[in-house]
Amino acid sequence: MELITAVLGFIVALGILVVVHEMGHFTIARLAGVKVLRFSIGFGRPVFQHVARNGTQWSVGWLPLGGYVKMLDERDAAGMTDAAGSANAAADPAPGFAAGARQDAAIDPRDLPHAFNRQSLAKRFAIVAAGPVANFLLAILLFTVLYLHGLPEPVALIGTPPVASAAARAGLSGGETVVALRHADDGRIEAIRSWPELQRRLGVAATRERALTVIATRDGARSDYPLTLSRTSGVPENASGAAAQDAARDDADGAGAALVQRLGLLPGGSAPEVASVEAGSPAARAGLRVGDTVRQVNGAPVTDAGALVALMRANGGRDVRLGIERAGRAQALVLVPAVVADPQSGQPIGRIGAGLGTRLPMVSIAYGPLDALGMGARRTWDVAADSFRMFGRMLTGAASLKNLSGPVTIADYAGKSARMGLLAFLSFMALISISLGVLNLLPIPVLDGGHLLYYAVEAVTGRAPSERWQSILQRAGLFCIVALSVVALFNDLTRLSHL
């Protein structure tokens, strides 16, 4: 049953995303006055065909792994397949042509003004870019719908902050729930409903001010905690004007996740749970197991993973008594954290060799139309930017090619998200739509990004790359796509073998 769900989820998700991508090409081509000969979803023998009154042939192939839009073009070449999930391409520089489809018949002179190759550079650029843009717009729409409906988000509950952090200096000790921020510049108060909202608000605040007040509640009491941003946001103390704004804005672009960590604001929740234990580690030797809940350290209660980590770091080489809960029963363990060098400061710290997690209290947050649209656009931008950065890191060797995933992994996640419900499936589709848009914008010939690169060269030099060079680059691009596909499939099979 899970296999059927995965296959159906994969077909539905990819089918919708490919249709949206190709419809972007098709729509802008028609608006630009280009004659579209064929709109095809899938490859191989058609299982459905229909010829519209305007002469466009609509087709669905039996292999749902891509699609293409074939446009009228004077060049006598094999054409190419638009790479919305497919690496099937030949050596024609015009985007959207079906692989292997030749235009042997003479073109009616009346149709020449509607040929793709006769369009201006701006129109050709817009037609090619429209596919990836359509995928990004779909992601924005899906995220907007999710934010409008409401998504479960962690409550802005503060965990125990590190000693000497900005949060600790402000007086926060852990267990407080942030309900608002008061801005020092104008006294404006912004309500805070969740942890992600706290991150976003702090990220924005860091671009324009150096301090604000955190308003939080604990045990029903409401208190103010003055928080200094300048010491941790990366803005030099003596910076001013545009320089300070630019430096702080870099932090805001990090969406606040790194910023709140530097401030010492850690998410709090229930008592920490053991998520993993390294073989031969102090945690393993003491008998700590995955699933154990740590309730006490040396007789004092522990409320979050951050506090437990801080205690372990501070007690390297010393006996530490743990009060844990296992399968509903209380037990006592004694472990001795190993003394290791802190990778950042080089100072000796304690380490037990266990992964910890905390169950965060959740709240469902729904946003208004404008806020939801803005957040959807920002989420799409962040995911796309992260994807481009990851491709860059893999290209330079800073990140492993194991990060690539292929159709098997996508199908697996499609099935899992479908079983989790409609909201999870829509979120999955938004992420895959962004990935499809990013992939097609990579400057690799046979992909949309490769053709956009040709047009950029044409815009600068006044002429397009020669057909000989385009043919060579097309073959090189096809090799790159095939190589990436092989690596992605290998990673899929490797992950599958370890399930």
The residue among 333, 330, 369, 376 whose CA lies nearest residue 354 is 333
Contact assessment for residue 366 and residue 148, using Cβ atoms and an 8 Å cutoff: yes
Give catalytic status of residue 153 as yes or no: no
Contact assessment for residue 15 and residue 130, using Cβ atoms and an 8 Å cutoff: no
Angle between helices 195-205 and 241-253 (to 10 degrees): 160
Contact assessment for residue 295 and residue 310, using Cβ atoms and an 8 Å cutoff: no
Task: Tell how far CA 4 is from the center of its chain.
Answer: 27
Q: How far apart are the first and last CA of the chain?
A: 17
**Catalytic: which of 22, 176, 197, 273?**
22
CB contact set of 245 (below 8 Å; sequence gap of 6+)? 207, 208
* Rounded distance between C-alpha atoms, residue 109 and residue 410, angstroms: 46
Task: Tell how far CA 120 is from the center of its chain.
Answer: 35
Q: How many CA atoms are closer than 13 Å to the CA of 190, on its beta-carbon side?
A: 18
Angle between helices 121-149 and 2-31 (to 10 degrees): 140
Task: Tell how far CA 410 is from the center of its chain.
Answer: 14
Q: What are phi and psi of 370, to 5 degrees?
A: -70, -45
Q: Is 362 helix (H, G, I), strand (E, B) or coil?
A: strand
Cα torsion 309, 311, 312, 317 to 10°: value is 160
| Residues assigned a catalytic role | 22
